[in-house]
């Protein structure tokens, strides 16, 4: 198997062993945590910036523009320049805000994002926490973010922010259901909630192929609901530029605004990564049952590349939605969830159970 | 109705008003006490049905203040220019027609704002564009040394 | 049952219209050579304004530093916002008569609305509209220009 | 409507308060410095009080001090998206007062320019409408096509928006030699682009849900509030000045006045799209038949209007635009009044949007196609 050279399990295990040789167990834990923390921080900062750049370029391409072209080659350093600008901006605290909550909100959103990142399997062995309830954990943690949005909207002492926050609350509460149910559909197929097991289960074929029509429906619903959960267009009611100026983060400036901004993009990454892990085989290469030589060629591409390629594809799809569709109204967004996505989802679970019971998926 | 027919009809219908045939449209000068009554008739009479007020403005003449109403009938497509004079230039008072043509509400506010004409029975007669205490810039005796440069 | 059929139909119809929209944006995404934007400061060499473009008022001079302006002041009269000031002087012609001539044709670019009325009114065609459009300066006083060059005089044979 | 009424009633029982939100003067969807004082009950708009005057520039007062050609150049600055129609209104008013008959060539060119302005204005409206509803890509597609019209304007008139192409008695210049070719090229291209507008936005299920059956304006209200242009015609108010009091070359062309009786946001949207097709149709009839002749009548150096009052109505992109000139025989007018379409249209907003949600308010405001300098003057 040409697969093992890309297995990170040995590497991480060896690192752990060598740390244990030189340090006390407590020290080892602290050092390992620090390394992981720094890695995540760097990843979020750099990948977030890259996503912002990608979004600007992609939207420019949709709109027959060129996008950022000035800073660096094809504007590659543009977002870094923007980030430096945001870092240096004055942190304005408006009159009448609840100072404690106002300052807390960006951190809650950031922390929620970090927590969800913890279980994502980037490649074999490259996963910080491998819970046996990984899927459940992600859905639970990703709904913490809305608390941050609500706090931000309420504490800003701004009517626009409050409306935005309340919209966001209603929206995420409803769409959490669809996300969970579409994941439940896939859990029925996978037979486990542990993300590494789910990925391993897709070694021969991705779940979206294995699960036939129900998996496809679940994927579409997951994409829609996931987009809604990240507050991105066409579901960006909480921000709704033309209605509420900037919604819940109207009053934030400088690095606090950057937190919200970055969290939005990282949330988009998390949704895409979950979609990839559960539906598109995670870091597994694309395999077709009988094409041996094709499968071998695919195996030579490292799993990290596979993972990020798929994530990139899903993110592109989400961006495509945003730059094509108008925004929904707040009652329509709830109609879509309760009248369309939820019933379809429930029927879909039934269908999937039938598929699994009849062993049709094998 | 053509302009001539309209003039003849109006002369018969409103003996107190002064109906003339202008260069473009029929013009009718009504007394300010008859304004509302005439307006109701103009809009209500099926032969006239002047239901569309497309322009309401004021003109500050040296000896009088004149409010000009441009009316059209969407049914018969004839146009009438109704004028209402007030002799008091300093504090002119005219009855409001906002109940008859609803768009007049804001046109009257504009005229009040720029020319200082008070419309009686107007429910919301506040300045529209300018600040309180600005003066009435479209009056001919308006002077503003700072902002207006005479050439 | 009919209701269910309708329901499914609306779902598919809705998704269909969404896909139509995505087809349009997608078709442009995958045709990046169809970009319509220009890279402005980079294309300065190739960027040419239309010859009627009204960028500023200029007074052309010939190679002998002569212009066509008689200093009649019609442009000043026609200017709606006072951006032209004519300072005229009287000069002695060769046959000893006094004649009005232009001393300074002052043009306030900052006040100009580029309406073309001065150019239209000029009886001798002394002023025309230039195509220069980059007028940003650091100091507002630089927007006040004297259009006739120093030492210039009226060309031979120009009559009022 | 019935749904929203129920909401209001039910909130009465819980005893909630309305709260006031200032939309504007700096707000992305008011397209300028308009302030709407909106009283809300939750998401539902209860009452809208527009506050205008943030860019009131006193054009009517300025006009009393300047001559007629100079007035024309000021009208560019009112409704800058239909600058040519505003120009034409003043020019026509002066010509009618002096009883000057302009050559056919002038009429043809003016009409073509009018319709090009209308196209450009509607294109900008379309892209802004999409943007207000959150579809940001429409903004660039609309501007992309509008760019060609602005190029045509720039080549012939010398300016892109504040064209100032009319003078009393004719035009500022003759058309550029490239004009006809450019217009025809543009029309050919735009005819392929206009169906894309429909595919991208008109058919879109989200868009349809946002505008269908929203913001009803009855025929009676439209007439009473003086709502003209496509907004009024959406309610069945036949108010096209081009039809009822034709000017320039409009009597010579075939075109339809698009009317609908439903009066909701979508109808107002659809009528503007249809008007674009109509404009293309009008230009196509005229562009090849521009007669030879002078581009202006020789006028006196100083234009003085006879004593009296003159009114001229034209159909601008937003509705009926009127110029009322009172002359006392001098070279300056005694009084000038501009009847701007946006002014009347804006104040019908409360009628349309009360009882709907904030998001609908934005959509309804977009369909009214407001230009703030046009309202404030």
Residue C138's pLDDT is 92
The reported pLDDT for the residue numbered D360 is 87
Element (H, E) at D285: helix D265-287
Q: What is the pLDDT of residue A3?
A: 46
- Say how many CB pairs under 8 Å bridge C and D: 70
List of residues 6+ apart from C128 with CB closer than 8 A = C57, C58, C59, C60, C119
* Closest chain B residue by Cα to residue D321: B54
Task: For residue B53, give both structure tokens.
Answer: 């007020």
Quick check: A2 pLDDT over 70? Answer: no
Least confident of A256-260, C89-93, D335-339: C89-93
| Contact residues of D toward C, CB < 8 A | 66-67, 69-70, 73-74, 137, 144, 147, 151, 154-159, 162, 164, 167, 172-173, 176, 196, 199-201, 203-206, 208, 301
Question: Could you say which of A65, A69, A323 has the minimum Cβ distance to residue C25?
Answer: A323
> CB distance C80–D66 less than 8 Å?
yes
Tally of residues, chain D? 377
Angle between helices D265-287 and D104-132 (to 10 degrees): 150
For chain B, which residues lie within 8 Å of any Cβ of chain D, measuring from their own Cβ?
Answer: 22-25, 27, 51-55, 57, 59-60, 68, 70, 74, 77, 81, 101-103, 105-107, 110, 114, 128-130, 137-138, 142, 148, 150-151
Q: What is the mean pLDDT of residues A51-76?
A: 86
SS3 letters for chain A?
CCCHHHCCHHHHHHHHHHHHHHCCHHHHHHHHHHHHHHHHHHHHHHHHHHHHHHHHHHHHHHCCCCCCCCCCHHHCCHHHHHHHHHHHCCCCCCCCCCHHHHHHHHHHHHHHHHHHHCCCCCECCECCCCCCCHHHHHHHHHCCHHHHHHHHHHHCCCHHHHHHHHHHHHHHHHHHHHHHHHHHHHHHHHCCCCHHHHHHCCCCCCHHHHCHHHHHHHHHHHHHHHHHHCCCCCCHHHCCHHHHCCHHHCCCCHHHHHHHHHHHHHHHHHHHHHHHHHCCCCCCCCCCCCCHHHHHHHHHCCHHHHHHHHHHHHHHHHHHHHCCCCCCCHHHHHHHHHHHHHHHHHHHHHHHHHHHHCCCCC
User: What are residue D286's phi and psi, to 5 degrees?
Assistant: -95, -30
CA distances from residue A45 to A154, C127, D214, D258 in whole angstroms, order as listed: 27, 59, 43, 55
pLDDT tops 80 at residue A129: no
A62 closest CB neighbour out of C28, C36, C37: C28
What is residue D2's predicted lDDT score, i.e. its pLDDT?
Answer: 46
Longest dimension (CA), chain C: 108
Distance from the Cα of D223 to chain B's closest Cα (Å) equals 6
Q: Is D131 on the interface with A (CB under 8 A)?
A: yes
Residue A254, class by beta-carbon neighbours within 10 Å (0-12 exposed, 13-18 middle, 19+ buried)?
middle
Which stretches within chain B are classed as H helix?
3-13, 35-44, 104-115
Q: Which tokens go with C160?
A: 């009022």
Look up residue D339 and give its two tokens.
């009847």
Query: Does D135 touch chain A if contact means CB atoms closer than 8 Å?
Result: yes
* Count of other CB atoms within 10 angstroms of residue C159: 6
User: What is the Cα–Cα distance from A47 to A38, expressed in whole angstroms?
Assistant: 14
In sequence order, the 6+-apart residues with CB closer than 8 A to the CB of A15 are none
Q: What token pair was written down for A11?
A: 């590497």
| pTM for this prediction | 0.88
| Partners of residue D154 in chain C, C-beta under 8 Å | 49-50, 52-53
Distance CA A332, CA A334 (A): 5
The mean-pLDDT minimum among A96-105, A234-243, B120-129 falls in A234-243
For residue D8, give the H/E element and its range.
Answer: helix D2-14
pLDDT tens-digit map of C123-145: 888 888 888 888 888 998 888 88
Spatial strand order in the sheet of D319-327: D308-316, D319-327, D335-339
Chains in touch with C (3+ beta-carbon pairs under 8 Å) read: A, D
With CA atoms as reference, the chain D residue closest to B136 would be D61
A-C interface (Cβ pairs under 8 Å ≥ 3): yes
Closest Cβ–Cβ partner in D58, D308, D337 for B55: D337
Q: Which of A63, A320, A325 sits opposite C26 (nearest CB)?
A: A320
In chain C, residues with a C-beta closer than 8 Å to the C-beta of D164 are: 115-116
Q: How big is the A-C interface in CB pairs under 8 Å?
A: 36
8 Å CB contact of D310 and B57 = no
| Rounded-to-integer distance, Cα A29 and Cα B64, Å | 93
DSSP state of D357: B
Domains, chain D, with CATH or none: 55-352 (1.10.645.10)
- B110/chain D closest Cα distance in angstroms: 10
Dump the DSSP string for B28-43. Answer: EEE-GGGHHHHHHHHH
CB contact under 8 A, C29 and A61: yes
Residue A22: pLDDT above 50? yes
CA dihedral C20, C25, C31, C32 (to 10 degrees): 180
* A64 Cα to chain C: minimum distance (Å): 5
CB environment D38-58: b (16+ within 10 A), e (fewer): bbbbbbbbbebebbbbbbbeb
Mean pLDDT by 10 residues, chain D (377 residues): 50 68 80 85 85 86 87 87 89 88 88 90 89 85 88 88 87 86 89 87 86 87 88 87 86 86 88 90 88 84 85 88 88 89 88 86 87 86
Measured in angstroms, the CA of B125 and the nearest CA of chain D are apart by: 13
Cβ distance D164 to C116 less than 8 Å, yes or no, reads yes
Contacts of B73 (CB under 8 A, 6+ apart): B48, B49, B50, B51, B52, B79
Q: What is the ipTM of this complex?
A: 0.85
Chains that touch A (3 or more CB pairs under 8 A): C, D
Interface contact C11-A340, CB threshold 8 A: yes
Stretch (H or E) spanning D108: helix D104-132
Do the beta carbons of residue A125 and residue A9 sit within 8 Å? yes
Helices A25-62 and C2-29: angle between axes, nearest 10 degrees: 90
pLDDT of residue B117: 87
Instruction: Please report where in the chains the tokens 């997951």 appear, as a residue.
Output: A222
pLDDT band (50, 70, 90) for residue A4: low
Q: Do B129 and D224 touch (CB under 8 A)?
A: no
Q: CA of D70 to nearest chain C CA: how many angstroms apart?
A: 6
Chain A residues with CB under 8 Å of C39 CB are 66, 69
Q: What number does CATH give the domain B3-91?
A: 3.30.460.80
Nearest to A190 by CA among A176, A177, A175, A205: A205
Asked whether residue A1 carries a pLDDT value surpassing 50, the answer given is no
- B52 vs C25: CA distance, rounded Å: 44
Residues on chain D touching C120 (C-beta within 8 angstroms): 167, 172
| Contact call for D347 and B105, based on CB within 8 A | yes
Question: Which residues on chain A are in Cβ contact (under 8 Å) with D209?
Answer: 328-329, 332
**What confidence tens digit (pLDDT) does each residue in A279-294 have?**
887 777 777 767 777 7
C→A contacts (Cβ < 8 Å), by residue, are 11, 18, 21-22, 24-26, 28-29, 32, 34-37, 39
Do residues C49 and C55 make contact, with C-beta atoms less than 8 angstroms apart? yes
Do B and A make contact via 3 or more CB pairs under 8 A? The reply is: no
Nearest to B59 among D58, D335, D348 (CB): D335
Measuring CA to CA, which residue among D72, D110, D114, D108 is closest to residue D93?
Answer: D72
Question: What is the three-class DSSP state of B5?
Answer: helix
Contact (Cβ atoms closer than 8 angstroms) between residue D340 and residue D313: no
Q: What is the average pLDDT value for chain A, to the nearest integer?
A: 83
Q: Which of C14, C25, C114 sits opposite D205 (nearest CB)?
A: C14
Are the beta carbons of D63 and D74 closer than 8 angstroms? yes
Residues on chain C touching A324 (C-beta within 8 angstroms): 18, 21-22, 24-25
The answer to whether the Cβ–Cβ distance between D344 and B138 falls below 8 Å is no
């Amino acid at each position: 198997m040409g697969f093992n050279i890309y297995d990170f399990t040995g590497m991480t295990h060896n690192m752990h062993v060598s740390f244990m040789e030189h340090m006390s167990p407590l020290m080892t834990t602290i050092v390992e945590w620090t390394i992981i923390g720094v890695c995540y921080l760097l990843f979020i900062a750099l990948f977030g910036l890259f996503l912002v750049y990608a979004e600007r370029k992609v939207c420019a391409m949709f709109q027959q523009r060129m996008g950022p072209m000035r800073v660096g080659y094809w504007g590659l350093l543009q977002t870094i320049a923007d980030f430096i600008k945001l870092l240096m901006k004055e942190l304005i605290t408006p009159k009448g805000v609840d100072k404690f909550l106002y300052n807390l909100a960006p951190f809650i959103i950031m922390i929620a994002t970090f927590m969800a990142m913890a279980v994502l399997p980037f490649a074999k062995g490259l996963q910080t926490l491998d819970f046996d309830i990984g899927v459940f954990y992600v859905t639970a943690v990703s709904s913490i973010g809305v608390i941050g949005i609500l706090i931000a909207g309420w504490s800003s002492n701004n009517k626009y922010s409050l409306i935005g926050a309340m919209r966001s609350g209603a929206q995420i509460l409803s769409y959490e259901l669809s996300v969970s149910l579409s994941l439940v559909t896939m859990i029925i197929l996978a037979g486990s909630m542990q993300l590494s097991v789910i990925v391993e289960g897709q070694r021969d074929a991705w779940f979206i192929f294995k699960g036939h029509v129900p998996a496809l429906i679940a994927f579409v619903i997951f994409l829609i609901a996931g987009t809604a959960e990240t507050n991105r267009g066409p579901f960006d009611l909480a921000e709704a530029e033309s209605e509420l100026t900037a919604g819940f983060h109207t009053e934030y400036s400088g690095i606090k605004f950057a937190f919200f901004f970055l969290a939005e993009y990282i949330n988009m990454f998390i949704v895409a990564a979950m979609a990839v892990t559960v539906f598109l085989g995670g870091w597994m290469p694309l395999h077709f049952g009988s094409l041996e030589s094709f499968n071998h060629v695919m195996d030579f591409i490292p799993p990290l590349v596979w993972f990020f390629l798929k994530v990139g594809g899903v993110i592109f799809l989400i961006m495509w939605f945003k730059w094509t569709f108008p925004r929904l109204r707040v009652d329509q967004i709830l109609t879509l969830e309760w009248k369309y996505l939820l019933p379809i989802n429930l029927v879909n679970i039934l269908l999937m159970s039938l598929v699994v019971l009849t062993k049709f998926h094998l | 109705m053509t302009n001539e027919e309209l003039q003849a009809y109006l002369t018969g219908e409103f003996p107190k008003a002064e109906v003339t045939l202008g260069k473009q449209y029929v013009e009718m000068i009504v007394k300010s006490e008859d304004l509302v009554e005439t307006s109701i008739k103009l809009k209500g009479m099926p032969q006239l049905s002047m239901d569309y007020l497309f322009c309401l403005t004021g003109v500050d003449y040296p000896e009088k203040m004149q409010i000009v109403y441009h009316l059209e009938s969407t049914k018969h497509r004839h146009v009438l220019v109704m004028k209402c004079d007030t002799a008091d230039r300093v504090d002119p008072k005219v009855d409001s027609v906002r109940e008859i043509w609803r768009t007049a509400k804001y046109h009257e506010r504009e005229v009040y704002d720029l020319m200082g004409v008070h419309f009686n029975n107007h429910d919301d007669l506040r300045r529209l564009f300018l600040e309180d205490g600005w003066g009435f810039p479209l009056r001919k005796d308006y002077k503003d040394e700072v902002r207006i440069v005479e050439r | 049952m009919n209701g269910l059929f309708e329901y499914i139909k609306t779902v598919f119809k809705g998704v269909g219209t969404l896909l139509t929209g995505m087809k349009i944006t997608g078709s442009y995404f995958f045709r990046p050579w169809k970009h319509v934007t220009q890279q402005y400061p980079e294309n300065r060499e190739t960027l040419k304004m239309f010859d009627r473009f009204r960028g500023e008022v200029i007074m052309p001079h010939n190679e002998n530093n002569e212009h066509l302006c008689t200093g009649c002041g019609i442009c000043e009269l026609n200017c709606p916002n006072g951006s032209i000031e004519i300072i005229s002087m009287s000069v002695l012609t060769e046959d000893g008569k006094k004649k009005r001539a232009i001393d300074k044709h002052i043009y306030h670019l900052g006040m100009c609305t580029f309406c073309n009325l001065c150019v239209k009114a000029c009886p001798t065609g002394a002023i025309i509209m230039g195509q220069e459009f980059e007028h940003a300066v650091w100091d507002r006083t630089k927007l006040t220009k004297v259009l006739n060059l120093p030492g210039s005089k009226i060309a031979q044979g120009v009559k009022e | 409507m019935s749904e929203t009424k129920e909401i209001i009633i039910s909130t009465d029982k819980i005893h909630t308060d309305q709260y006031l939100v200032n939309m504007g003067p700096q707000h992305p969807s008011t397209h300028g410095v308009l302030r709407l004082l909106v009283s809300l009950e939750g998401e539902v708009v209860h009452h809208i009080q527009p506050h205008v005057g943030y860019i009131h520039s006193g054009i009517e007062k300025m006009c009393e001090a300047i001559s007629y050609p100079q007035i024309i150049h000021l009208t560019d600055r009112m409704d800058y998206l239909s600058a040519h129609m505003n120009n034409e209104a003043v020019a026509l008013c002066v010509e009618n007062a002096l009883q000057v008959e302009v050559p056919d060539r002038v009429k043809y060119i003016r009409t073509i320019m009018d319709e090009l302005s209308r196209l450009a204005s509607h294109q900008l409206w379309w892209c802004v409408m999409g943007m207000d509803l959150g579809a940001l890509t429409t903004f660039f597609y609309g501007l992309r096509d509008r760019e060609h019209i602005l190029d045509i304007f720039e080549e012939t008139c010398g300016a892109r928006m504040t064209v100032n192409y009319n003078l009393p008695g004719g035009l500022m210049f003759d058309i550029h030699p490239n004009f006809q070719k450019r217009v025809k090229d543009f029309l050919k291209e735009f005819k392929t682009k206009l169906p894309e507008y429909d595919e991208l936005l008109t058919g879109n299920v989200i868009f349809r849900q946002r505008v269908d059956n929203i913001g009803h304006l009855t025929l009676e209200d439209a007439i009473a509030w003086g709502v003209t242009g496509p907004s009024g015609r959406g309610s069945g108010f036949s108010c096209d000045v081009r039809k009822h009091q034709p000017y320039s070359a409009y009597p010579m062309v075939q075109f339809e006045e698009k009317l609908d009786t439903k009066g909701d946001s979508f109808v107002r949207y659809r009528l503007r799209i249809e008007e674009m097709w109509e404009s293309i149709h009008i230009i196509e009839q005229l562009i090849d038949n521009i007669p030879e002749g002078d581009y202006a009548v020789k006028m006196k150096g100083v234009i003085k209007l006879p004593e009296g009052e003159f009114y001229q109505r034209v159909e601008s992109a937003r509705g009926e635009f009127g110029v009322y000139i009172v002359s006392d025989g001098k070279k300056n007018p005694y009084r000038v009044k501009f009847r701007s379409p946006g002014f009347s249209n804006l104040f019908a907003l409360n009628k349309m949007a009360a009882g709907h949600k904030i998001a609908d308010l934005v959509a309804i405001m977009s369909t009214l196609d407001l230009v703030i300098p046009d309202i404030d003057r």
